[in-house]
Amino acid sequence: MNKPTIILVMCGSSVATSAVAAFKIEEEAKKRNVEVLIKKGKVSDTDTLVEMYKPDFIVATAQIKEREDVKVFSGVPLISGIGQEKLLDDIFAAIAAK
């Protein structure tokens, strides 16, 4: 059995926008029959959370620097709705390619 894809969803406070983004990713994963494990956190804790969870990808709704060790997606479209479908397609294409 394959292990689920771990996605770290980050925002400024780890409350509102990360919860909305995480929900949308989880719902899309169900539609696409893809197993994901979502972890949430604050962008200020990125290094610690990456070390702790070892995510396959990061989706951040706040400004975050690019990383060499983990692919980072801007999660803003999941909040604004503008470009949301393209972002979800990109995330799930990256999952399929891993």
Question: Is 83 within a domain?
Answer: no
Q: How confident is the prediction for the chain on average, in pLDDT? A: 95
Closest by CA to 78, choosing from 6, 16, 2, is 16
Tally of CB atoms within 10 A around 92: 18
Question: Would 30 be classed as within a structural domain?
Answer: yes
Q: Considering the domain boundaries, does residue 15 fall inside one? A: yes
Total number of domains in the chain:
1
**Residue 21: closest CA among 62, 51, 50, 71:** 62
| Of 58, 64, 50, 44, residue with least CA distance to 87 | 58
Is the residue at 21 inside a domain? yes
Would residue 72 count as lying in a domain?
no
| Domain annotation covers residue 70 | no
Domain that holds residue 59: 6-42+55-65
What is the tens place of the pLDDT at every residue in 48-92?
999 999 999 999 999 998 899 999 999 999 999 999 999 999 999
Write down the pLDDT at residue 16: 87
Q: Residue 84: enclosing H or E segment and its boundaries?
A: helix 84-97
CA distance 67 to 89: 21
